[in-house]
Amino acid sequence: MSAPNIDTIVSLAKRRGFVFPSSDIYGGLGSAWDYGPLGVELSNNIKQSWWRWLVYERDDIEGIDSSIILNRLVWKYSGHEATFHDPLVDCRECKTRMRADKIEGKCANCGSTNLTEPRNFNMMFRTVLGAAAEEDDPTALAYLRPETAQGIFINFLNVQTTLRRKIPFGIAQIGKSFRNEITPGNFILRTREFEQMEMEYFVKPDAEHLKLVDEWVELYLEWFKSLGISGDNLQLHEVPAEELAHYSKRTVDIMYRYFPERPEQERQWEELMGIAYRTDFDLRSHSNKPVDEEGKRVNPDSTEDLSYFDETTKQRFYPHVIEPAAGVNRTVLAVLMDAYSEKTNDKGETRVILRLSPQLAPIKAAILPLAKNKPEIVGMAKAIKRSLQPVLRAVYDDTGGIGKLYARQDEIGTPMCVTVDHQSLEDEAVTVRDRDTWEQERVKVAELADYLQRRLKATSPVQPVAGTSSLEI
Ligand code: ATP
Average pLDDT, the chain: 94
Residues 382, 374 contacting (CB under 8 angstroms): no
Nearest partner of 174 among 349, 51, 41, 333, judged by Cα: 51
Q: What is the DSSP string of 291-357?
A: B-TTS-BS-SS------EEETTTTEEEPPEEEEEEEEHHHHHHHHHHHHEEEEE-TTS-EEEEE---
pLDDT of residue 261: 96
The answer for residues whose C-beta is within 8 angstroms of residue 308's C-beta and 6 or more apart is 160, 167, 202, 316, 317, 318, 319
388-404: per-residue pLDDT in tens? 999 999 999 999 999 99
333: Cα separation from own chain's centroid: 9
Q: If DSSP codes are grouped into helix, strand and coil, which group holds residue 456?
A: helix
Look at 37-46, 106-115, 435-444 and tell me which has the smallest mean pLDDT: 106-115
pLDDT of residue 1: 80
Which protein residue has the closest C-alpha to ligand 1 atom 26?
190
How buried is residue 281: exposed, middle or buried, by Cβ count under 10 Å (0-12/13-18/19+)?
buried
Among 78, 150, 196, say which to mutate for ligand 1: greatest number of ligand atoms within 8 Å of CB.
196
211-253: per-residue pLDDT in tens? 999 999 999 999 999 999 999 999 999 999 999 998 999 999 9
42-64: per-residue pLDDT in tens? 999 999 999 999 999 999 999 99
Q: Give the nearest ligand 1 atom to 179 CA.
A: 27
How buried is residue 237: exposed, middle or buried, by Cβ count under 10 Å (0-12/13-18/19+)?
middle
Q: Give the nearest ligand 1 atom to 189 CA.
A: 29
Of the pLDDT bands very low, low, confident and very high (cuts 50, 70, 90), residue 471 is very low
Which protein residue has the closest C-alpha to ligand 1 atom 10?
147
The residue-averaged pLDDT of 417-443 equals 97
pLDDT exceeds 60 at position 465 = no
pLDDT of residue 459: 62
Pocket, ligand 1, Cβ cutoff 6 A: 179, 181, 190-191, 194, 196, 271-274, 325-327, 329-330
The answer for residues whose C-beta is within 8 angstroms of residue 407's C-beta and 6 or more apart is 351
Of the chain, the percentage scoring pLDDT greater than 70 comes to 97
pLDDT exceeds 90 at position 132 = no
Residues 193, 32 contacting (CB under 8 angstroms): yes
Q: Give the nearest ligand 1 atom to 270 CA.
A: 3
Which protein residue has the closest C-alpha to ligand 1 atom 28?
190
Q: CA-based angle 249:254:258, to the nearest 5?
A: 140
Q: What is the DSSP string of 112-171?
A: ---BPPPEEEE-PPEEE-STT--TT-GGGEEEB-S-SHHHHHTTHHHHHHHTT--SSEEE
Which protein residue has the closest C-alpha to ligand 1 atom 20?
327
